[in-house]
Structure 1
Amino acid sequence: MRRARGLDDLRDVAGEVANGGIDLGESDSGLHGQLGGDRSTRCAARFADTVTQLKQERIDYRMGLLASVQEVDAAQWNALLARQDQPTPFLRHEFLSALATTQCATERTGWAPRFVTLVDARTDALAAVAPVYLKSHSYGEYVFDWAWADAYQRNGLEYYPKLLCAIPFTPVQGTRLIAVDDTARRRLAASLIALAEQSDVSSLHVLFPTPAESDTLAELGMMRREGIQFHWLNAGYRDFDDFLFTLEQKKRKNIRAERRKVREAGITFRRVRGEDATDDDWRFFTRCYRQTYREHFSQPYLNLDFFRTIGTTMPENLLLVVAERRGKPIASALVVYERNGQTGGALYGRYWGALEHVPCLHFETAYYQPLEFCIEEKLAVFEGGAQGEHKMPRGFMPTVTRSAHWLAHPAFSDAVAHFLANEANMIHAHVDELREHNPFKC
């Protein structure tokens, strides 16, 4: 390893990288590497020592570090999750367990589970838990820090492993710090930061937390980063035409033209709820999912076993949209949804693929069919996933997302903090500009 440059040099390099390359998309070359080398061994040992120390410091809570979500009772986990403000299906015990048991998010794939728990010392009840992973790469995160890792490497520093609190492969805002109350939540957040500070990791990242969690993490000294997604809001529409009526004439005309092209191509659709999905349905969907990655020369994160597993363990949250021509399936999308009496529920666009090219098929399968489902089921919001200004003419409006970051190296941390402040200003200005050109009637 070459010697690191001086403090001023590193500050300059970090600033250059932050300003020039921080928005790089995910690199798709190669598979997601496993943790390796002496540093990972040191991290594991340091983690054990740190947890022991933190346990002694937190009299009212006992801190634990779990190598698997399966070490927590599923009913206990889900009951605690149900008490949160934004309990998305992706944080359910079944979803996280499926990622592990089907070998999608494991140490071998660079996602070494290090779930952090707080247990009430008086009652022995689970008080708080966070999905934490020791990462050896930055794949599958959707808050891009490749430029940071590159700057570390060019200056003789090691960026990996890093500590990540997130749901693997899932850019969905929601609860990240599951807790019985705000006191336990703040203590859990402080424990994550203390664990990172006292362990041999370069950084800690909390991705897509709720606004309240983001505020708590910022109060504890983590840097706030913001991004943009596009979400569709249900204004109590009676049907799809009722929604179309709220759009500008040109946008309305374009959507109708796109849907007509698909119909004229002889395409029909089946909507298959998770409870009704057959093994053939899951096999076909997985072929489509893999095809999308193949077309982008990249590796899929998930596998058939994963989709089969969640189809068995949480079918009530799943909907397959299958496009067919003359009875033969040619494309499919999987969306995840939840009903919530307080928030009205939500639908999350996740995965799609097609084995044949048909103009506008993507929009119909992955957007318009799920939109109709949202209206029929009276779901309040449709989150379209990462990126995608192309969604805006179809009624999806810009929404600010958040993440929180702590970096151990002071100079690099200062440079990134400066960049993030400027980036936030640019994002807010861009959101304001986008909203001025929204597709709805004035």
Structure 2
Amino acid sequence: MSYRPDVISSLAEVGEAAWNGLLAAQGETNPFLSYAFLHAMHESGSASAETGWQPQYLALRDGGELAAAMPLYVKSHSYGEYVFDWAWADAYHRNGIEYYPKLLSAIPFTPVTGGRLLARDGQARAALVALLKAQQKAADISSTHVLYPPEEQAMQLHEAGFMLRSGVQFHWLNQGYTDFEQFLSTLEHKKRKNIRAERRKVREAGVTMRQIRGRDATDADWRFFHRCYSNTYAEHRSSPYLNLDFFQRIGAAMPGNILLVVAERAGRAIASSLVIHTEDTLYGRYWGADEHVPCLHFETAYYQPLEFCIANGIATFEGGAQGEHKMARGFLPQKTWSAHWLAHPAFADAVERFLERESGGIDDYISELNERNPFRA
């Protein structure tokens, strides 16, 4: 079958119906791949050429139908990726070779596994991989990186000449709990005791919690959340990736996928977190506070979303990037994947050797973590 290739700089060139229809055709329900989320990233200017995230999506058309597509960006830096290649960029620089620009297939600022090779069938997916290979060789780039694909797509990219890298995230699995106390009863005594103590500290500080569904969130709620989110970056002496316009756009376009948690004391909001969810998965995303209360982060960003999962029968809570501390709260290690192609043969060989050593270390690390399982034997 002959497909017509295309490179698109805006999802508006595809259209919401065609983009979401392609996701539905392969059973992809990840909300971060939705037209609403990605279009908000671009239209708000959060992920744009000006911020170093120039959209250059690949698409294959079969007549008037979108047969395959790939979220793809030309990157002029490595910020907001969560699979770190700073050492690779530094090695290029020390040898007088340009590392940027590079190609990156990822959801901006979102370390969540989801489809990167979006296709209606296997034939279209194979053609999309071939288009990616042709694009990266024709372009003046150092490398291509595909972050957080599902394992099946990672393996397909490996067969096409990409090197694989693995990482670790922490996910909570709902075992059909009827309430938070039943979940706690499955943990080791010390873990259970610590969680109860953390929640008690928040209550004794006079803090109450509100869960706000996206459809009920007001403009004031979004402005307060964005202030909290920005405070988190300010505390780390950095600038936030996402602007208020982005959050207002997803609040309007995908309210059914959004939960805001707001902490209040003496009638005043003091902290907030945002999670994104589907019927079966909840994704921890952002949090921040106007003032410090011991353990408020855990209550706002973990325990309230866990209660929401239990109340709504949500099977999985993906806790986001990094964080062994999540294990003490019932999250378990899960392997993640990324795929990498480097144009320079010598550097590609050196990175491949590094990844072989790193892979063994990741497997050992996951085994070690599983030996520290927080649940009762």
**What TM-score does the superposition give when structure 1 sets the normalisation length?**
0.84
Paired residues for 1:157-236 under 5 Å = 157-236=97-176
Larger Rg: 1
Query: Does residue 43 of structure 2 align to residue 101 of structure 1?
Result: yes
- Which residue number in structure 2 is paired with residue 355 of structure 1? 290
Paired residues for 1:174-323 under 5 Å = 174-323=114-263
Q: After superposition, what is the alpha-carbon deviation per residue over 1:180-204, rounded to whole angstroms, capped at 9, x for unaligned?
A: 0122112212211221012111000
- Which residue number in structure 1 is paired with residue 12 of structure 2? 70
Which one of the candidate residues 110, 127, 133 is aligned to 2:73?
Answer: 133
Secondary structure, counterpart of 1:143 in structure 2: coil
Paired residues for 1:119-130 under 5 Å = 119-120=61-62, 123-130=63-70
- Which residue number in structure 1 is paired with residue 307 of structure 2? 372
Measure how far apart 1:332 and its partner are: 0.1
Counterpart Cα distance in 1 of 2:146 and 2:133:
10
Secondary structure, counterpart of 1:320 in structure 2: strand
Counterpart Cα distance in 1 of 2:27 and 2:197:
39
Counterpart Cα distance in 2 of 1:323 and 1:165:
36
The one-letter code of the counterpart of 2:227 is: R
The one-letter code of the counterpart of 1:169 is: F
Contact 1:100 1:106 in 2 (8 A): yes
Measure how far apart 1:85 and its partner are: 4.5
Measure how far apart 1:425 and its partner are: 0.5
Which one of the candidate residues 43, 51, 55 is aligned to 1:113?
Answer: 55
The one-letter code of the counterpart of 2:315 is: A
- Which residue number in structure 1 is paired with residue 276 of structure 2? 336
The one-letter code of the counterpart of 2:248 is: R
Contact 1:193 1:204 in 2 (8 A): no
- Which residue number in structure 2 is paired with residue 154 of structure 1? 94
Tell me which stretches of 4 or more aligned residues in structure 1 moved more than 6 Å. none
Q: After superposition, what is the alpha-carbon deviation per residue over 1:91-112, rounded to whole angstroms, capped at 9, x for unaligned?
A: 1001111111111111111111
Counterpart Cα distance in 2 of 1:144 and 1:400:
16
Which one of the candidate residues 320, 325, 337 is aligned to 1:385?
Answer: 320
Which one of the candidate residues 314, 338, 345 is aligned to 1:410?
Answer: 345
Secondary structure, counterpart of 1:415 in structure 2: helix
Contact 1:85 1:175 in 2 (8 A): no
Q: After superposition, what is the alpha-carbon deviation per residue over 1:136-157, rounded to whole angstroms, capped at 9, x for unaligned?
A: 0000100000111111111010
- Which residue number in structure 2 is paired with residue 394 of structure 1? 329
Measure how far apart 1:328 and its partner are: 0.5
| CA separation of 1:174 and 1:322: change in aligned 2, threshold 3 A | same
Contact 1:273 1:316 in 2 (8 A): yes
Measure how far apart 1:90 and its partner are: 0.5
Counterpart Cα distance in 2 of 1:237 and 1:186:
42
Identity percentage of aligned residues: 63
Give the alignment's Cα RMSD to 1 decimal.
Answer: 0.9
Contact 2:18 2:65 in 1 (8 A): no
Counterpart Cα distance in 2 of 1:299 and 1:253:
37
Counterpart Cα distance in 2 of 1:421 and 1:197:
24
Secondary structure, counterpart of 2:301 in structure 1: helix
Query: Does residue 355 of structure 2 align to residue 420 of structure 1?
Result: yes
The size of the alignment, in residue pairs, is: 377
The one-letter code of the counterpart of 1:434 is: L
Measure how far apart 1:84 and its partner are: 2.9
Unaligned runs of 5+ in 1: 1-58, 340-344
Secondary structure, counterpart of 1:82 in structure 2: helix
Q: After superposition, what is the alpha-carbon deviation per residue over 1:281-324, rounded to whole angstroms, capped at 9, x for unaligned?
A: 00000000000000000110001111011100111110000000
Counterpart Cα distance in 1 of 2:352 and 2:177:
42
Paired residues for 1:40-55 under 5 Å = none
Counterpart Cα distance in 2 of 1:72 and 1:362:
40
Counterpart Cα distance in 2 of 1:270 and 1:182:
45
The one-letter code of the counterpart of 2:291 is: E
Counterpart Cα distance in 2 of 1:218 and 1:405:
9
Query: Does residue 29 of structure 2 align to residue 83 of structure 1?
Result: no
Q: After superposition, what is the alpha-carbon deviation per residue over 1:49-104, rounded to whole angstroms, capped at 9, x for unaligned?
A: xxxxxxxxxx6111100011111110111121123354310110011111111111
Contact 2:76 2:100 in 1 (8 A): yes
Counterpart Cα distance in 2 of 1:205 and 1:93:
22
Which one of the candidate residues 349, 371, 375 is aligned to 1:436?
Answer: 371
